[in-house]
Amino acid sequence: MSSVSTFGVQSRQLKPSERWICFAALFFLGFTATFNQFKAAPAIQYIGADLGMSVDMLSQIMGVFSIAGMLLAFPGMLVMQRFGVKFSIVVTSVIQLIGSLICAFSGDTAIFLVGRTLEGVAYGLICVIGPNIMPRLFPLKDQGVVMGIWSQWTPMGVVIAFFTAPMIYEAAGGAAIAFSWQPIWYVSIAMEIISIVWLLVSCKMPAIPENELVDGDPARRKRPGKNFMLAGFMVCACFFVWVFVYVANINTLYPTFLQNMKGLSVFDSSMLPNWTAIITIPLGIIFGIVADKFNFRKWMVAGGYLIVAVCVFFFFYTDGADMTGPWIACILMGIAGALVPTGTRAIAPVLVPEPKKTDLVLATMAFATGVAQVVGGYIVSPIVTSIGYQANAQFVLTPLALLAAVLVIVFVKSDRKTYEVRVAERAAQDAAEAEANA
């Protein structure tokens, strides 16, 4: 292998503490990228006004960010395989920093959108590289808890963005002062510099990826097993629905709905959906741990989509000033947020254990994420403008959530049954090795 591809690779397997320190550096990069994505949302209409953008163009602030996620999902997988984890992830973090610097010092719509695109390039690469690192870094028996924690990079970034961005914006003068949105970017630049240094120091990979070993034993390599590719692709492709509903609709435009329809301030309108992420974070970790023990990831995902359907149909977009519906929706959506992303990422390496095929299905998840964000970035605002928030929720979002639940139930193999297949494969390998050594 080239020196670039072996950058950060140790001559041995990692200690548990080294794995988790590496994980922490990657997680910080992940929620910094999510902060970058959503830092514009609380004050998006004011940023657009300052840059001379029409209301219909506002979604481009989020849309151009997401194009790279769609385009780079599969190439990003190949880059990681070719150039190695540490080199790929450090370059990703540098691209993110460059994008934020361009945005912070731009006073022109076109230049600002170029910076947002570069921030999106980094986000797109993290979407595909991040989850694909985890099966290499941790053994399969720990994937539930690992993916349960890793999946919180999005809600953690959302919490930070929706809590700090409006505070920074208002402290800088709010709508009364031009370019008062720039200090939000200064915060992200500081986070990105910390991330680069942390990754350079702490990002390490084992000599042999854990997903190639039997029980972490470097002397024993796994034999090829059955890969349930259709199930893996289906559960990852359905993630489009989660991202379209939660990211493109709720996290992007819900604060604007609360400001315009419920009369909330910029800060209060950001804090309400923030509770969704706050609820998701501990529950996602708990569900990840429980999934490892009881093997019910498929039903986590399907149940999560059903909860989404209930939320958007009945509760999110109620009439009048009453806030009961929005509060119920944000709480239930927090539960769904703990189920769908955690279950999807945790079940992928269970359904598809062969390393390069695992990469492929998780890259499909990243591709679905990018497509949903791009599509949402360009069509959600016009749809809402045309038919209204409630009609969009009931006639677009609800059917999509129900469809995703049905597809998961019908096409995704139960991970409990998959576990039985793995036990049989392991027994066959043990018997073959015992016979060979006899």
Could you give the C-alpha distances from 64 to 40, 52, 59, 212, 370, in angstroms and in order?
13, 17, 9, 37, 10
> What is the band of 23 on the pLDDT scale with cuts at 50, 70, 90?
very high
What is the average per-residue pLDDT within 187-215?
Answer: 92
pLDDT by residue (tens digit) across 32-47? 999 998 888 777 777 8
Q: How many residues does the chain have?
A: 438
CA distance 369 to 50: 29
Q: What is the pLDDT of residue 435?
A: 76
Q: What is the pLDDT of residue 168?
A: 85
CA distance 195 to 234: 33
Q: Which amino acid appears at position 198 of this protein? A: W
pLDDT by residue (tens digit) across 66-119? 777 788 888 888 888 899 999 999 999 999 999 999 999 887 888 999 999 999
**pLDDT at residue 296 above 90?**
no
Q: What is the pLDDT of residue 25?
A: 96
pLDDT by residue (tens digit) across 122-162? 988 898 898 889 999 998 888 888 988 998 888 888 888 87
Could you give the C-alpha distances from 408 to 332, 364, 393, 399, in angstroms and in order?
20, 15, 21, 14
* Residues 339 and 213 sit within 8 Å (Cβ to Cβ): no
Report the chain's mean pLDDT, rounded to a whole number.
Answer: 88
Q: Which of 402, 417, 425, 244 is nearest to 347 (CA)?
A: 417
Lowest mean pLDDT across 41-55, 149-163, 276-290, 393-407 = 41-55
* Residues 227 and 351 sit within 8 Å (Cβ to Cβ): yes
**pLDDT at residue 187 above 90?**
yes
What is the average per-residue pLDDT within 195-209?
Answer: 95
Say if residue 178 is exposed, middle or buried (CB neighbours under 10 Å; 0-12, 13-18, 19+): exposed
